A and B are shown apart, each in its own frame.
Chain A
């Protein structure tokens, strides 16, 4: 996609609050409606989170089962600072991100000592520590209820139903910023080293790169951005939600990446948006009159977005490891080939390579 098209898409999305286009069931009301803006905003924040996770899992091959922890740290840090201390909005937001950075340094410096599966297990353990602490209401973290933002401490422009569009723009800005940063990072030298580590860690080490440092850097960048996303999510939700620390939330991130296509920034974005829209809207659609008349055997699975997502996820792992982005890429390549005449031997090889190497990157390597 050319930058001009991207700018156009962002401009169009920024105008969404003023559009009265019908949501066609995908969104709760018209595109500019309050409910729709809330759903879209959630999708943007989760997409930003998925992009940060893609840097870890898709680009560097670090499968963390605790990425939700840093998102939750951002949320909880921000909300709890506002609720229990006299600090203001900006101080709380900055401190929450600061807390996330400190935690990310500690957890990752330790976890990256372990490799592969062991890394996954250490991050899983770390995330569970936080889930237990919240479940037990340590430091007033509210147990299963979470913590609500004291709304009087938010800037007036972010409070109230009238101002939903401001929160929507905040979420959009977060997504655009994360997207641009991730796109830029993955084309720099350091991004190429990340991919080298993913493909063959030993070779990267032998070539003289200190793999541990590169991994630590990507983990810190991803965790910090996740913390920022967590702050925005708390503003959007009006609360910090304990579900963010659960194992199924982190597995949900993995599902988004596989669905969209790991190792591609816009693949992660696509997967997260599809995932969030399905999860938010499927129960509402299936409780409509038309579906309620269906027999239980059909209706029960349809009403469970997680079941549908899980089954689609398994099918993708088995048959489409490149995800939706891989399908789109192959389609684009096929169209281009048809335009440029009969395929040459080189083009056919290129296609084969793209079909074989699962997380092939969308951008051409320099």
Chain B
């Protein structure tokens, strides 16, 4: 029983990071029809940014709550800034061309950014100082010892889902985004510049990926230059399974993939969870291309 509870919580935590990256990808694809490969690299860059802030506190004592919040903020700002610049400088020039060129530019950017990080800090993992209460203090639930970090990750993901939904439902920008997902041409015909929404959504996606990067670094106690690629692949699964452009679909898919992975890896065979996740993605693409998110392409 305690194992099951533990698996549920670790699955949810892993799913939370998938959701942080996948929700950004889902919004971006829904609105802009751009499949971005760059957000995995933003996640890595922000993980390093978070580590850079945290490493000044000692490993034994761990950073204070203030430093931790500051690291998260830095991650959000760096991720947002990177995404903002990408959209303005690189993608904007390509909206007249086909989607493949946009995909290629983001892939090239991700490739370069990871190479730059490799050049500065090398390919070896770096230890991330984490407050003791984050990983070592546990709460007992039905006999299972759950680390506080799990609650933080799950909490952040839930808050983000609520915040994004509120933004899309109750603000004018959110309204334009939802309308743009439904019918971009019509929004333009009404005299609204959709490109502002493109910038906004791409930046939000980057900021959320940045938040995910710092959290993933804290959760794993380590950063290296390959974490972004790994999370990006699972974010793709979340995007496909959840439905292109569906926020709630992404949440459900992230949860499902995280749990599936933890349970099969623990109870059946290590590696099987990953394999099943990719088979799930292939099957969804072929059998239900619109994903669990429901209608053709919907955001909420």
A contact set with B: CB distance below 8 Å? 63, 110-111, 113-114, 117-118, 120-122, 124-126, 128-129, 132-133, 135-136, 138, 247-248, 251, 254-255, 258, 300-301, 303-307, 309-311, 313-314, 317-318, 321
* A117/B111 in contact, CB under 8 A: no
Q: Offer 17 A-B interface pairs, CB within 8 angstroms, sorted by A.
A: A110-B282, A114-B289, A118-B289, A129-B275, A132-B275, A247-B229, A254-B104, A300-B116, A300-B120, A306-B114, A306-B118, A307-B115, A310-B108, A313-B104, A317-B108, A318-B105, A321-B101
> In the complex, what's the smallest C-beta–C-beta distance from B35 to chain A, in angstroms?
6
> In the complex, what's the smallest C-beta–C-beta distance from B101 to chain A, in angstroms?
6
A151 CA / B118 CA spacing, docked (Å) = 34
Interface residues of chain A: helix, strand, loop or mixed (majority): helix
* B111/A306 in contact, CB under 8 A: yes
* B116/A307 in contact, CB under 8 A: yes
Partner-contacting stretch, out of B92-100, B136-144, B155-163, B207-215: B92-100
Task: List, in ascending order, chain B residues with CB within 8 A of A135's CB.
Answer: 271
* A310/B109 in contact, CB under 8 A: yes
* A317/B285 in contact, CB under 8 A: no
Which size class do B's interface residues fall under? 35 or more
Task: List, in ascending order, chain B residues with CB within 8 A of A124's CB.
Answer: 233, 236
- B278 touches A (CB below 8 Å): yes
- B107 touches A (CB below 8 Å): yes
Known: A132-B271, A248-B229. A306 touches B112 (CB 8 A): yes
> In the complex, what's the smallest C-beta–C-beta distance from A324 to chain B, in angstroms?
16
Most central of A122, A303, A317 by chain B CB within 10 Å: A317
A318 touches which of B37, B94, B233, B286 (Cβ 8 Å): B94
Q: Enumerate the 10 nearest inter-chain pairs by beta-carbon distance, A residue then B residue, closest first.
A: A310-B112, A136-B271, A306-B115, A307-B115, A310-B111, A304-B119, A125-B278, A313-B108, A300-B119, A314-B108
> In the complex, what's the smallest C-beta–C-beta distance from A144 to chain B, in angstroms?
11
Task: List, in ascending order, chain A residues with CB within 8 A of B37's CB.
Answer: 251
Task: List, in ascending order, chain A residues with CB within 8 A of B282's CB.
Answer: 110-111, 122, 125-126
Besides A114-B285, A251-B37, A307-B115, 18 other A-B contacts (C-beta < 8 A):
A117-B35, A117-B103, A118-B289, A126-B282, A128-B278, A133-B275, A135-B271, A254-B107, A304-B115, A304-B118, A306-B111, A306-B114, A306-B118, A307-B119, A314-B105, A317-B94, A317-B101, A318-B90
